[in-house]
Amino acid sequence: MGVNYYTTREVSWSLAHGLLKANSAPVSAPGWGHTKMGWGINPPGLTAVLLNIKENYGNPKMYVTENGCALKDAPDERGFVADWGRVNFLRAHLMAAHDAIQAGANLHGYYAWSLMDNFEWAMGYEPRFGIVRVDFETGRRTPKQSAHWYREVITRNAVEE
């Protein structure tokens, strides 16, 4: 089973003129804030989703197929982006995935979204999710700090806190 996880939304309901009305609001973990998309950052929400699937849907083999964040990436004169916010986001979500595994979730893989900055169908080129920066005028690709960090995580098969 593939799980895409970016944010947590709290859902509530009310009756209005005899009709059921659903509302939702973004949830962010204390101290985490929001992404450039306005999505609340909530690493424990990933653990909760994976454990919910474990408890209520027979604990199928799972993969986190998308997890990432759009931030305000500011390249230096060489095109390098020191995106420590993305590093912290990915680290916290990988640790949340590990927490779910420790609690018995049948999680077999995690894919960061995304390898490169791309065209987001609803917002164009502005939200930058990639761990590799793309200069959309020249096509030049420059690994961001998060790409170097993620390479080390993969090489060591471990996340340092």
- pLDDT, position 103: 99
Is residue 8 assigned to a domain? yes
**Is residue 15 situated within a structural domain?**
yes
Residue 44 included in any domain: yes
Per-residue pLDDT for 161 more than 90?
Answer: no
In a domain, 161, yes or no: no
Residue 39 falls within a domain, yes or no?
yes
Residue-range definition of the domain harbouring residue 16: 2-156
**pTM listed for this prediction:** 0.92
Ranges assigned E (strand) in 5-158: 8-16, 19-27, 62-66, 107-110, 132-134, 141-143
The model's pLDDT over 76-132, given as tens digits with 9 standing for 90+, comes to: 999 999 999 999 999 999 999 999 999 999 999 999 999 999 999 888 998 999 999
Residue 50 is assigned to a structural domain of this protein: yes
Cβ within 8 Å of residue 8, ≥6 positions away: 26, 27, 40, 42, 45, 48
pLDDT for the residue numbered 27 = 86
The number of domains in the chain is 1
